[in-house]
Structure 1
Amino acid sequence: MSSDRSVIVDSLGVGFATGVYGVSFGTIATASGLSVVQACAMSLAVFTGASQFAFVSVVAAGGAPLAGAVTAILLGSRNLFYGLSLSPHLQLRGAAKAAAAHIVIDESTAMAVTRETSLQARLGFYWTGWSIFILWNLSTFLGALAGNAIGDPRAYGLDAAVGAAFLGLLWPRLNSMSMRLIAVVAAAVAFGLIPFTAAGVPIILGGAIAVALGLAWQKKAA
Protein backbone atom coordinates (compact mmCIF):
# COMPACT_ATOMS: atom_id res chain seq x y z
CA MET A 1 0.00 0.00 0.00
CA SER A 2 2.78 2.44 0.87
CA SER A 3 4.50 1.79 -2.48
CA ASP A 4 1.20 2.44 -4.29
CA ARG A 5 0.85 5.72 -2.41
CA SER A 6 4.42 6.60 -3.35
CA VAL A 7 3.59 6.08 -7.02
CA ILE A 8 0.65 8.48 -6.71
CA VAL A 9 2.73 11.11 -4.90
CA ASP A 10 5.49 10.89 -7.50
CA SER A 11 2.95 11.08 -10.31
CA LEU A 12 1.32 14.18 -8.88
CA GLY A 13 4.74 15.80 -8.54
CA VAL A 14 5.49 15.16 -12.20
CA GLY A 15 1.98 16.29 -13.10
CA PHE A 16 2.37 19.61 -11.35
CA ALA A 17 5.86 20.33 -12.67
CA THR A 18 4.80 19.59 -16.24
CA GLY A 19 1.24 20.90 -16.17
CA VAL A 20 2.08 24.44 -15.10
CA TYR A 21 4.32 24.77 -18.16
CA GLY A 22 1.11 25.15 -20.14
CA VAL A 23 1.22 28.82 -19.14
CA SER A 24 4.11 29.36 -21.56
CA PHE A 25 2.22 27.69 -24.39
CA GLY A 26 -0.92 29.73 -23.80
CA THR A 27 1.03 32.97 -23.61
CA ILE A 28 3.09 32.32 -26.73
CA ALA A 29 0.16 30.91 -28.71
CA THR A 30 -2.08 33.95 -28.32
CA ALA A 31 0.79 36.41 -28.60
CA SER A 32 1.64 34.74 -31.91
CA GLY A 33 -1.83 35.16 -33.38
CA LEU A 34 -4.07 32.41 -32.02
CA SER A 35 -7.20 33.33 -30.13
CA VAL A 36 -7.77 32.26 -26.53
CA VAL A 37 -10.34 29.72 -27.74
CA GLN A 38 -7.96 28.31 -30.36
CA ALA A 39 -5.11 27.96 -27.86
CA CYS A 40 -7.34 26.21 -25.33
CA ALA A 41 -8.91 23.97 -27.98
CA MET A 42 -5.44 22.86 -29.08
CA SER A 43 -4.44 21.92 -25.55
CA LEU A 44 -7.69 19.99 -25.09
CA ALA A 45 -7.61 18.14 -28.41
CA VAL A 46 -3.90 17.75 -29.18
CA PHE A 47 -2.42 17.59 -25.66
CA THR A 48 1.21 17.02 -26.48
CA GLY A 49 3.46 19.95 -25.70
CA ALA A 50 6.13 19.48 -28.35
CA SER A 51 3.57 19.23 -31.14
CA GLN A 52 1.70 22.28 -29.87
CA PHE A 53 4.84 24.40 -29.71
CA ALA A 54 5.88 23.16 -33.16
CA PHE A 55 2.56 24.26 -34.65
CA VAL A 56 2.79 27.69 -33.04
CA SER A 57 6.40 28.14 -34.17
CA VAL A 58 5.46 27.49 -37.80
CA VAL A 59 2.47 29.84 -37.68
CA ALA A 60 4.46 32.55 -35.89
CA ALA A 61 7.13 32.33 -38.61
CA GLY A 62 4.51 32.98 -41.29
CA GLY A 63 4.01 29.38 -42.35
CA ALA A 64 0.66 27.94 -43.41
CA PRO A 65 -1.46 26.26 -40.70
CA LEU A 66 -1.32 23.04 -42.75
CA ALA A 67 2.48 23.06 -42.55
CA GLY A 68 2.22 23.53 -38.79
CA ALA A 69 -0.27 20.68 -38.54
CA VAL A 70 1.96 18.30 -40.49
CA THR A 71 4.90 19.20 -38.25
CA ALA A 72 2.81 18.60 -35.14
CA ILE A 73 1.65 15.22 -36.45
CA LEU A 74 5.20 14.13 -37.20
CA LEU A 75 6.32 14.98 -33.68
CA GLY A 76 3.24 13.37 -32.17
CA SER A 77 3.86 10.12 -34.05
CA ARG A 78 6.21 8.99 -31.28
CA ASN A 79 3.16 8.47 -29.08
CA LEU A 80 2.20 5.51 -31.28
CA PHE A 81 5.33 3.72 -30.12
CA TYR A 82 4.63 4.72 -26.53
CA GLY A 83 1.23 3.06 -26.85
CA LEU A 84 2.84 -0.19 -27.98
CA SER A 85 5.17 -0.22 -24.99
CA LEU A 86 2.33 0.63 -22.58
CA SER A 87 -0.10 -2.02 -23.79
CA PRO A 88 1.31 -4.99 -21.83
CA HIS A 89 1.58 -2.88 -18.66
CA LEU A 90 -1.91 -1.36 -18.68
CA GLN A 91 -3.84 -4.32 -20.18
CA LEU A 92 -6.77 -2.18 -21.34
CA ARG A 93 -9.57 -3.01 -23.75
CA GLY A 94 -12.28 -1.25 -25.71
CA ALA A 95 -13.43 2.17 -24.56
CA ALA A 96 -10.92 2.25 -21.70
CA LYS A 97 -8.07 1.88 -24.17
CA ALA A 98 -9.47 4.63 -26.41
CA ALA A 99 -9.81 7.02 -23.46
CA ALA A 100 -6.32 6.22 -22.19
CA ALA A 101 -4.82 6.97 -25.62
CA HIS A 102 -5.45 10.68 -25.11
CA ILE A 103 -3.03 10.88 -22.19
CA VAL A 104 -0.24 8.81 -23.75
CA ILE A 105 2.60 11.31 -23.47
CA ASP A 106 6.26 11.20 -22.46
CA GLU A 107 5.65 11.65 -18.74
CA SER A 108 2.74 9.24 -18.30
CA THR A 109 4.60 6.58 -20.27
CA ALA A 110 7.76 6.98 -18.19
CA MET A 111 5.79 6.76 -14.95
CA ALA A 112 4.08 3.56 -16.07
CA VAL A 113 6.63 1.36 -17.82
CA THR A 114 9.10 1.42 -14.90
CA ARG A 115 6.62 -0.09 -12.41
CA GLU A 116 6.83 -3.59 -10.99
CA THR A 117 3.11 -4.47 -11.11
CA SER A 118 0.21 -3.75 -13.47
CA LEU A 119 -1.60 -1.91 -10.68
CA GLN A 120 1.32 0.43 -10.08
CA ALA A 121 1.71 0.93 -13.83
CA ARG A 122 -1.93 2.00 -14.10
CA LEU A 123 -1.59 4.27 -11.06
CA GLY A 124 1.49 5.95 -12.49
CA PHE A 125 -0.06 6.29 -15.92
CA TYR A 126 -3.46 7.67 -14.91
CA TRP A 127 -2.38 9.93 -12.05
CA THR A 128 0.41 11.42 -14.15
CA GLY A 129 -1.56 11.70 -17.37
CA TRP A 130 -4.75 13.20 -15.99
CA SER A 131 -3.04 15.54 -13.54
CA ILE A 132 -0.94 16.94 -16.40
CA PHE A 133 -4.01 17.16 -18.64
CA ILE A 134 -6.00 19.15 -16.08
CA LEU A 135 -3.16 21.49 -15.09
CA TRP A 136 -1.92 21.93 -18.67
CA ASN A 137 -5.34 23.06 -19.83
CA LEU A 138 -5.92 25.37 -16.88
CA SER A 139 -2.45 26.84 -17.35
CA THR A 140 -3.01 27.24 -21.08
CA PHE A 141 -6.13 29.28 -20.39
CA LEU A 142 -4.35 31.56 -17.92
CA GLY A 143 -1.37 31.97 -20.23
CA ALA A 144 -3.62 32.63 -23.21
CA LEU A 145 -5.35 35.46 -21.38
CA ALA A 146 -1.94 36.96 -20.57
CA GLY A 147 -0.66 36.56 -24.12
CA ASN A 148 -3.82 38.10 -25.51
CA ALA A 149 -3.20 41.19 -23.38
CA ILE A 150 0.49 41.44 -24.37
CA GLY A 151 -0.14 41.92 -28.08
CA ASP A 152 2.70 41.86 -30.63
CA PRO A 153 5.16 39.12 -29.53
CA ARG A 154 8.09 40.80 -31.27
CA ALA A 155 7.86 43.79 -28.94
CA TYR A 156 8.76 41.53 -26.00
CA GLY A 157 10.97 38.98 -27.74
CA LEU A 158 8.31 36.28 -27.53
CA ASP A 159 8.87 35.32 -31.16
CA ALA A 160 12.22 33.91 -30.00
CA ALA A 161 10.57 32.40 -26.93
CA VAL A 162 8.66 29.95 -29.13
CA GLY A 163 11.88 28.23 -30.16
CA ALA A 164 13.29 28.45 -26.64
CA ALA A 165 10.21 26.81 -25.13
CA PHE A 166 10.25 24.09 -27.76
CA LEU A 167 13.93 23.42 -27.07
CA GLY A 168 13.16 23.28 -23.35
CA LEU A 169 10.69 20.47 -23.96
CA LEU A 170 12.96 18.64 -26.38
CA TRP A 171 16.24 18.75 -24.48
CA PRO A 172 15.36 16.29 -21.65
CA ARG A 173 14.35 13.70 -24.29
CA LEU A 174 17.85 13.67 -25.78
CA ASN A 175 19.09 11.27 -23.14
CA SER A 176 21.19 9.01 -25.32
CA MET A 177 23.91 9.42 -27.94
CA SER A 178 21.63 8.06 -30.68
CA MET A 179 18.91 10.61 -29.87
CA ARG A 180 21.48 13.43 -29.89
CA LEU A 181 22.87 12.36 -33.25
CA ILE A 182 19.39 12.14 -34.76
CA ALA A 183 18.55 15.60 -33.41
CA VAL A 184 21.76 17.09 -34.84
CA VAL A 185 21.16 15.59 -38.29
CA ALA A 186 17.51 16.70 -38.35
CA ALA A 187 18.47 20.21 -37.22
CA ALA A 188 21.17 20.43 -39.88
CA VAL A 189 18.66 19.44 -42.58
CA ALA A 190 16.14 22.01 -41.33
CA PHE A 191 18.70 24.83 -41.14
CA GLY A 192 20.06 23.99 -44.58
CA LEU A 193 16.61 24.21 -46.14
CA ILE A 194 15.65 27.59 -44.63
CA PRO A 195 17.01 29.76 -47.51
CA PHE A 196 15.32 27.61 -50.18
CA THR A 197 11.88 26.72 -48.82
CA ALA A 198 8.75 28.36 -47.42
CA ALA A 199 8.25 28.84 -43.69
CA GLY A 200 7.37 25.60 -41.97
CA VAL A 201 8.76 23.29 -44.65
CA PRO A 202 12.25 22.94 -43.06
CA ILE A 203 10.67 21.81 -39.79
CA ILE A 204 8.47 19.28 -41.57
CA LEU A 205 11.34 17.77 -43.56
CA GLY A 206 13.70 17.87 -40.58
CA GLY A 207 11.06 16.14 -38.47
CA ALA A 208 10.50 13.51 -41.18
CA ILE A 209 14.24 12.83 -41.24
CA ALA A 210 14.25 12.46 -37.45
CA VAL A 211 11.34 9.98 -37.53
CA ALA A 212 12.96 7.95 -40.32
CA LEU A 213 16.31 7.82 -38.57
CA GLY A 214 14.66 6.91 -35.27
CA LEU A 215 12.78 4.01 -36.87
CA ALA A 216 15.92 2.79 -38.63
CA TRP A 217 17.97 3.02 -35.43
CA GLN A 218 15.30 1.16 -33.46
CA LYS A 219 15.14 -1.60 -36.08
CA LYS A 220 18.91 -1.95 -36.09
CA ALA A 221 19.01 -2.16 -32.29
CA ALA A 222 16.35 -4.88 -32.30
Structure 2
Amino acid sequence: MRDIGLVCVADALVGASFGAIAVSGGLAAWVPVVMSLVVFAGGAQFAAVAVVLSGGSPAAAVAAGLVLNARHLPFGFAVADVLGERWRTRLLGAHLLIDESVAFAMGQRDTRQRRAAFWACGIALFVVWNAAVVLGAMAGGSIGDTDALGLDAAFPAVLLALVLPALRDRRTREASLAGVVIAVASTPFLPAGLPVLLALAGLLIPRRGGPATRIRARIRTRTRIREEEVR
Protein backbone atom coordinates (compact mmCIF):
# COMPACT_ATOMS: atom_id res chain seq x y z
CA MET A 1 0.00 0.00 0.00
CA ARG A 2 2.93 2.33 0.68
CA ASP A 3 4.34 1.67 -2.79
CA ILE A 4 0.92 2.14 -4.35
CA GLY A 5 0.61 5.45 -2.52
CA LEU A 6 3.93 6.65 -3.94
CA VAL A 7 2.84 5.69 -7.44
CA CYS A 8 -0.43 7.59 -6.92
CA VAL A 9 1.49 10.74 -5.98
CA ALA A 10 3.62 10.49 -9.12
CA ASP A 11 0.62 9.82 -11.35
CA ALA A 12 -1.27 12.72 -9.79
CA LEU A 13 1.43 15.09 -10.98
CA VAL A 14 1.30 13.61 -14.48
CA GLY A 15 -2.51 13.70 -14.54
CA ALA A 16 -2.59 17.36 -13.53
CA SER A 17 -0.07 18.13 -16.26
CA PHE A 18 -2.22 16.29 -18.78
CA GLY A 19 -5.34 18.26 -17.91
CA ALA A 20 -3.50 21.58 -17.90
CA ILE A 21 -1.76 20.96 -21.22
CA ALA A 22 -4.93 19.80 -22.96
CA VAL A 23 -6.95 22.85 -21.88
CA SER A 24 -4.21 25.42 -22.37
CA GLY A 25 -3.61 23.95 -25.82
CA GLY A 26 -7.14 24.85 -26.87
CA LEU A 27 -9.30 21.84 -25.96
CA ALA A 28 -12.46 22.23 -23.91
CA ALA A 29 -12.09 21.32 -20.24
CA TRP A 30 -14.51 18.39 -20.54
CA VAL A 31 -12.35 16.66 -23.19
CA PRO A 32 -9.45 15.54 -20.94
CA VAL A 33 -11.89 14.80 -18.09
CA VAL A 34 -14.14 12.52 -20.16
CA MET A 35 -11.13 10.95 -21.87
CA SER A 36 -9.65 10.07 -18.49
CA LEU A 37 -12.88 8.48 -17.30
CA VAL A 38 -13.55 6.50 -20.47
CA VAL A 39 -10.03 5.67 -21.69
CA PHE A 40 -8.01 5.72 -18.46
CA ALA A 41 -4.67 5.14 -20.14
CA GLY A 42 -2.16 7.91 -19.54
CA GLY A 43 0.22 7.10 -22.37
CA ALA A 44 -2.57 6.75 -24.94
CA GLN A 45 -4.21 9.96 -23.70
CA PHE A 46 -0.98 11.93 -24.01
CA ALA A 47 -0.34 10.51 -27.47
CA ALA A 48 -3.85 11.26 -28.74
CA VAL A 49 -3.92 14.82 -27.38
CA ALA A 50 -0.41 15.48 -28.70
CA VAL A 51 -1.51 14.50 -32.21
CA VAL A 52 -4.63 16.70 -32.05
CA LEU A 53 -2.81 19.73 -30.62
CA SER A 54 -0.16 19.47 -33.32
CA GLY A 55 -2.83 19.62 -36.02
CA GLY A 56 -3.40 15.93 -36.66
CA SER A 57 -6.76 14.37 -37.40
CA PRO A 58 -8.89 12.63 -34.76
CA ALA A 59 -8.44 9.37 -36.69
CA ALA A 60 -4.65 9.64 -36.42
CA ALA A 61 -4.99 10.43 -32.72
CA VAL A 62 -7.13 7.35 -32.11
CA ALA A 63 -4.75 5.18 -34.13
CA ALA A 64 -1.77 6.43 -32.13
CA GLY A 65 -3.56 5.62 -28.87
CA LEU A 66 -4.56 2.15 -30.05
CA VAL A 67 -1.03 1.32 -31.18
CA LEU A 68 0.41 2.45 -27.86
CA ASN A 69 -2.16 0.47 -25.89
CA ALA A 70 -1.65 -2.73 -27.88
CA ARG A 71 0.56 -3.89 -25.01
CA HIS A 72 -2.59 -4.34 -22.92
CA LEU A 73 -3.48 -7.48 -24.86
CA PRO A 74 -0.67 -9.59 -23.33
CA PHE A 75 -1.29 -7.80 -20.03
CA GLY A 76 -4.82 -9.21 -20.07
CA PHE A 77 -3.54 -12.74 -20.50
CA ALA A 78 -1.03 -12.25 -17.68
CA VAL A 79 -3.62 -11.24 -15.06
CA ALA A 80 -6.70 -13.04 -16.37
CA ASP A 81 -6.86 -15.26 -13.28
CA VAL A 82 -6.92 -12.19 -11.03
CA LEU A 83 -10.14 -10.80 -12.52
CA GLY A 84 -12.34 -13.73 -11.54
CA GLU A 85 -14.94 -15.59 -13.61
CA ARG A 86 -17.89 -13.18 -13.78
CA TRP A 87 -17.99 -11.07 -16.94
CA ARG A 88 -18.91 -7.91 -15.00
CA THR A 89 -15.83 -8.23 -12.84
CA ARG A 90 -13.67 -8.93 -15.87
CA LEU A 91 -15.09 -5.91 -17.70
CA LEU A 92 -14.37 -3.62 -14.76
CA GLY A 93 -10.93 -5.15 -14.30
CA ALA A 94 -10.14 -4.63 -17.97
CA HIS A 95 -10.84 -0.92 -17.54
CA LEU A 96 -8.45 -0.77 -14.58
CA LEU A 97 -5.77 -2.77 -16.40
CA ILE A 98 -2.80 -0.42 -16.66
CA ASP A 99 0.97 -0.77 -16.38
CA GLU A 100 1.01 -0.12 -12.65
CA SER A 101 -1.84 -2.44 -11.64
CA VAL A 102 -0.37 -5.26 -13.72
CA ALA A 103 3.10 -4.69 -12.29
CA PHE A 104 1.87 -4.81 -8.69
CA ALA A 105 -0.22 -7.92 -9.39
CA MET A 106 2.65 -9.74 -11.06
CA GLY A 107 4.91 -8.88 -8.15
CA GLN A 108 2.89 -11.13 -5.83
CA ARG A 109 3.14 -14.91 -5.74
CA ASP A 110 -0.07 -15.81 -3.95
CA THR A 111 -3.27 -15.55 -6.01
CA ARG A 112 -5.13 -13.79 -3.21
CA GLN A 113 -2.37 -11.22 -2.83
CA ARG A 114 -2.18 -10.72 -6.60
CA ARG A 115 -5.89 -10.00 -6.69
CA ALA A 116 -5.68 -7.60 -3.76
CA ALA A 117 -2.71 -5.74 -5.27
CA PHE A 118 -4.39 -5.42 -8.67
CA TRP A 119 -7.67 -4.02 -7.39
CA ALA A 120 -6.09 -1.77 -4.77
CA CYS A 121 -3.71 -0.23 -7.29
CA GLY A 122 -6.26 0.01 -10.10
CA ILE A 123 -9.00 1.65 -8.03
CA ALA A 124 -6.61 4.01 -6.22
CA LEU A 125 -5.00 5.20 -9.43
CA PHE A 126 -8.36 5.61 -11.18
CA VAL A 127 -9.59 7.94 -8.43
CA VAL A 128 -6.33 9.88 -8.10
CA TRP A 129 -5.72 10.19 -11.85
CA ASN A 130 -9.20 11.53 -12.64
CA ALA A 131 -9.18 13.94 -9.69
CA ALA A 132 -5.79 15.27 -10.78
CA VAL A 133 -6.95 15.68 -14.39
CA VAL A 134 -9.95 17.71 -13.22
CA LEU A 135 -7.70 19.98 -11.15
CA GLY A 136 -5.26 20.34 -14.03
CA ALA A 137 -8.05 21.15 -16.48
CA MET A 138 -9.40 23.82 -14.13
CA ALA A 139 -5.94 25.35 -13.78
CA GLY A 140 -5.20 25.03 -17.49
CA GLY A 141 -7.58 27.83 -18.39
CA SER A 142 -5.65 30.31 -16.27
CA ILE A 143 -2.18 29.21 -17.39
CA GLY A 144 -1.02 31.33 -20.25
CA ASP A 145 2.02 29.35 -21.29
CA THR A 146 2.48 25.76 -20.09
CA ASP A 147 5.93 25.68 -21.72
CA ALA A 148 7.12 28.22 -19.15
CA LEU A 149 6.30 25.73 -16.39
CA GLY A 150 7.92 22.85 -18.20
CA LEU A 151 4.62 20.98 -18.57
CA ASP A 152 5.29 20.45 -22.26
CA ALA A 153 7.95 17.95 -21.18
CA ALA A 154 5.19 15.68 -19.81
CA PHE A 155 4.42 14.32 -23.29
CA PRO A 156 7.87 12.93 -24.11
CA ALA A 157 8.60 12.08 -20.46
CA VAL A 158 5.59 9.78 -20.09
CA LEU A 159 6.11 8.09 -23.44
CA LEU A 160 9.83 7.65 -22.75
CA ALA A 161 9.06 6.10 -19.37
CA LEU A 162 6.80 3.56 -21.08
CA VAL A 163 9.39 2.72 -23.73
CA LEU A 164 12.60 2.52 -21.70
CA PRO A 165 12.03 -0.90 -20.05
CA ALA A 166 11.48 -2.51 -23.45
CA LEU A 167 14.75 -1.12 -24.83
CA ARG A 168 16.74 -3.75 -22.97
CA ASP A 169 16.04 -6.04 -25.91
CA ARG A 170 18.42 -5.47 -28.84
CA ARG A 171 15.78 -6.19 -31.44
CA THR A 172 13.48 -3.61 -29.87
CA ARG A 173 16.27 -1.02 -29.75
CA GLU A 174 17.04 -1.52 -33.43
CA ALA A 175 13.37 -1.30 -34.41
CA SER A 176 12.91 1.82 -32.26
CA LEU A 177 15.94 3.54 -33.77
CA ALA A 178 14.72 2.76 -37.27
CA GLY A 179 11.27 4.07 -36.35
CA VAL A 180 12.75 7.30 -35.01
CA VAL A 181 14.72 7.85 -38.22
CA ILE A 182 11.62 7.19 -40.34
CA ALA A 183 9.43 9.51 -38.26
CA VAL A 184 11.93 12.38 -38.24
CA ALA A 185 12.64 12.07 -41.95
CA SER A 186 8.96 12.02 -42.91
CA THR A 187 7.79 14.80 -40.56
CA PRO A 188 8.41 17.68 -43.04
CA PHE A 189 6.35 15.94 -45.73
CA LEU A 190 3.40 14.32 -43.92
CA PRO A 191 0.51 15.68 -41.80
CA ALA A 192 0.92 15.61 -38.03
CA GLY A 193 0.36 12.19 -36.51
CA LEU A 194 1.18 10.16 -39.62
CA PRO A 195 4.99 10.09 -39.13
CA VAL A 196 4.47 8.39 -35.76
CA LEU A 197 2.33 5.70 -37.37
CA LEU A 198 4.77 5.35 -40.25
CA ALA A 199 7.49 4.69 -37.68
CA LEU A 200 5.97 1.22 -37.22
CA ALA A 201 7.84 0.31 -40.40
CA GLY A 202 10.87 0.03 -38.13
CA LEU A 203 9.52 -3.37 -37.12
CA LEU A 204 10.18 -4.61 -40.66
CA ILE A 205 13.95 -4.26 -40.53
CA PRO A 206 15.84 -7.56 -40.84
CA ARG A 207 16.50 -9.14 -37.50
CA ARG A 208 20.07 -9.86 -36.59
CA GLY A 209 20.60 -13.38 -35.45
CA GLY A 210 17.44 -14.61 -37.18
CA PRO A 211 16.97 -18.16 -38.55
CA ALA A 212 18.87 -17.48 -41.77
CA THR A 213 21.79 -15.94 -39.87
CA ARG A 214 21.93 -18.86 -37.45
CA ILE A 215 21.89 -21.40 -40.29
CA ARG A 216 24.74 -19.64 -42.07
CA ALA A 217 26.72 -19.54 -38.82
CA ARG A 218 26.23 -23.28 -38.32
CA ILE A 219 27.34 -24.01 -41.87
CA ARG A 220 30.50 -21.95 -41.40
CA THR A 221 31.21 -23.70 -38.10
CA ARG A 222 30.81 -27.16 -39.63
CA THR A 223 32.97 -26.17 -42.58
CA ARG A 224 35.76 -25.07 -40.27
CA ILE A 225 35.50 -28.31 -38.29
CA ARG A 226 35.75 -30.40 -41.46
CA GLU A 227 38.73 -28.41 -42.68
CA GLU A 228 40.48 -28.96 -39.36
CA GLU A 229 39.74 -32.71 -39.52
CA VAL A 230 41.18 -32.90 -43.05
CA ARG A 231 44.32 -31.13 -41.93
Q: TM-score, normalised by structure 1?
A: 0.81
CA contact (8 A) 1:28 1:161 kept: no
> Which of 189, 192, 202 matches 1:199?
192
Q: CA deviation at 1:169?
A: 3.6
Equivalences for 1:51-130 in 2 at 5 Å?
51-130=44-123
CA contact (8 A) 1:109 1:125 kept: yes
> Which of 118, 137, 141 matches 2:134?
141
Equivalences for 1:109-188 in 2 at 5 Å?
109-151=102-144, 156=148, 160-161=152-153, 163-174=155-166, 176-178=168-170, 179-188=172-181
Q: Assess, with a 3 A threshold, how the Cα gap between structure 1 residues 34 and 162 changes in structure 2: closer, same or farther.
A: farther
Q: Distance in 2 between matches of 1:167 and 1:96?
A: 29
Q: Distance in 1 between matches of 2:89 and 2:121?
A: 16
Q: CA deviation at 1:18?
A: 2.2
Q: CA deviation at 1:61?
A: 1.0
Q: Distance in 1 between matches of 2:82 and 2:70?
A: 20
CA contact (8 A) 1:23 1:144 kept: yes
CA contact (8 A) 2:83 2:89 kept: no
CA contact (8 A) 1:90 1:118 kept: no
Q: CA deviation at 1:183?
A: 2.6
Corresponding residue SS for 1:195: coil
Aligned partner of 1:99: which letter? L
The aligned residue for residue 2 of structure 2 is 9
Q: Assess, with a 3 A threshold, how the Cα gap between structure 1 residues 57 and 25 changes in structure 2: closer, same or farther.
A: same
CA contact (8 A) 2:44 2:64 kept: yes
CA deviation map 1:97-138 (0-9, x unaligned): 011000111111110012111111111111111111111101
Bigger CA drift: 12-21 or 170-179?
Answer: 170-179
Q: Distance in 2 between matches of 1:175 and 1:112?
A: 23
The aligned residue for residue 25 of structure 1 is 18
The answer to whether structure 1 residue 42 and structure 2 residue 35 are counterparts is yes
Q: Distance in 2 between matches of 1:88 and 1:119?
A: 10
CA contact (8 A) 1:49 1:169 kept: no
Q: Distance in 1 between matches of 2:152 and 2:7?
A: 27
Q: Which is higher, the Rg of structure 1 or of structure 2?
A: 2
CA deviation map 1:118-165 (0-9, x unaligned): 1111111111111111111011011111112224657x4879535434
Report the count of equivalent residues. Answer: 206
Aligned partner of 1:60: which letter? L
Q: Distance in 1 between matches of 2:135 and 2:160?
A: 20
Aligned partner of 1:78: which letter? R
Q: Structure 1: where are the runs of 5+ without partners?
A: 1-7
Higher RCO (C-alpha under 8 Å, 6+ residues apart): 1
Q: CA deviation at 1:180?
A: 3.3
Aligned partner of 1:43: which letter? S
Q: Distance in 2 between matches of 1:144 and 1:17?
A: 17
Q: Structure 2: where are the runs of 5+ without partners?
A: 212-231
CA contact (8 A) 2:101 2:122 kept: yes
The aligned residue for residue 4 of structure 1 is none
Q: Distance in 2 between matches of 1:191 and 1:76?
A: 22
